[in-house]
Amino acid sequence: MSVRNRKIGLYSIELVNENESRLKGEKLTEYFDGVINYIQTKEYDDKIFEISASNKFYFLDEYFSNETGRSYIFKSAKIGHRPPLIKKDTGEERDNPKLLDEGESEKTHIVIKYKDDEIIAALEERKVGTTIGQITNYLNNFISQMPNDDYYFINLNVIPYSGFLEHLNDFDRITLGIIEVDKQYLGSEYLNLADLGETTRENIDVTFKANPRKSILPESITKMFRKFEDKNKKIKRIRIKGTTPEKTKIQLDTNNLKKVEHIDVNLDDATGLVNENDIFENLSIILQDL
C-alpha cells in the first residue's frame, strides 16, 4: 500500500437550546446518538443535501459505534462536469463514461468522543470532501425536523493546531472578539479612574463587536495574534465568535491550541482510496489525549 498525508481538523461541539442551556453527560450522549439514528431511518432521497452553487451533494453514509466513541463516513460528489479522460503516458483522450448527474464519490471520515458537556471531533479535512461547516449544517437541519419538545442545536468551536490564523477562513462573519490583556497595559490614568485596585485579576477582558450585518476584519485579528505571539505577551488570550458560510455558530480560542496537524494513512494502490480501518484508528488515537 502507498501512504498519504492527511490533514486533521479538531473541533468541540456543544448542544445548546434557545436559553443557552447545554446538554451534559448521558443526556448529551443520548441526544446526539438520537440525531444520528433519526437520520439513518431516512430514505436516501431524504438524506442528501445539495449545494447548488457548487454542484455538490453530500450525505451521512455509515455510522459505527463502540464503547470508546463513534465513527462516521460522509459521502460527497460534484456533478455537472464531464470532460474527456486523458492518459498520462500517451496524452490520448477518450470520452468520459460518467453521466452529468454522476460524480466521483469522495469519503470524509470523522470520529467523536463524548466528554461531560461537549463532543470532541477529529475530522479528515480534504478540499474535495465534506467540511465541518457542512456537517454541522446537515445535523442541525435534521435536529429541527425531530419531534422534540426542546431543541438543542450544535454550537461549533474550533480546536486549532499551531496554525491559528488559517482557521479565520472557517468564518463567514466575525461578530465578536475578546482579548485578555495584562491590566497594566490599559494605562495608569484609566486604572485610576476605574479604581480597580488589588482585588481584580491581573488580566482583563476587552470586548469588541462588529456593526450589524458586518464582520470584524480578519486583518485586525491577524495583527492581534502577532502581538499574542510576541515574547512580551501583552495579549494573553484571543477569542473570536461568528458564523460559518453555512450560518453555523463558531468560535476560535487561543487557549485551545493543539499540536496535532497531520497523520499518515495507508492507501489502496489500485484505487488510491484511504484504508478506513487505518484512518479511524489514527483519528481515535488523536482523541485519546483530548
pLDDT at 136: 94
pLDDT at 85: 94
Instruction: Give the helix ranges, DSSP H, for the chain.
Output: 25-40, 44-47, 132-145, 188-194, 218-229, 276-288
pLDDT at 30: 95
Overall average pLDDT of the 68-85 stretch: 92
Overall average pLDDT of the 183-205 stretch: 57
| Closest by Cα among 265, 212, 207, 270 to 240 | 207
All three cell numbers of 132 = 465541518
pTM, full prediction: 0.74
pLDDT at 53: 87
All three cell numbers of 264 = 499518515
Tell me the per-residue pLDDT of 197-245, one tens digit each, with 9 for 90 and over.
Answer: 555 556 788 898 999 889 999 999 998 888 888 766 778 889 898 988 8
Please state, rounded to an integer, the average pLDDT across all residues of the chain: 86
Does the pLDDT at position 251 exceed 90?
A: no
Does the pLDDT at position 280 exceed 60?
A: yes
Would you place residue 2 in the very low, low, confident or very high pLDDT band (cuts 50, 70, 90)? Answer: low
pLDDT at 185: 60
Overall average pLDDT of the 252-260 stretch: 68
All three cell numbers of 52 = 447548488
**What b/e string do you get for 150-182 counting C-beta neighbours within 10 Å, with b at 16 or more?**
eebbbbbbbbbbeebeebbebbebbbebbbbbe
Does the pLDDT at position 248 exceed 60?
A: yes
Would you place residue 3 in the very low, low, confident or very high pLDDT band (cuts 50, 70, 90)? Answer: low
Residue pointed to by grid coordinates 480501518? 277
All three cell numbers of 111 = 470520529
pLDDT at 191: 45
Would you place residue 62 in the very low, low, confident or very high pLDDT band (cuts 50, 70, 90)? Answer: very high
Q: Which residue has the higher pLDDT, 61 or 249?
A: 61
pLDDT at 213: 87
Confirm if 6 and 265 have CB atoms less than 8 A apart: yes
| Closest by Cα among 38, 21, 47 to 153 | 21
Tell me the per-residue pLDDT of 113-136, one tens digit each, with 9 for 90 and over.
Answer: 998 889 999 999 888 899 999 999
pLDDT at 1: 46
Domain coordinates of the chain in residue numbers? 2-160+258-288, 173-243
pLDDT at 190: 46
pLDDT at 198: 56
Distance of CA 217 to the CA centre of its chain: 21
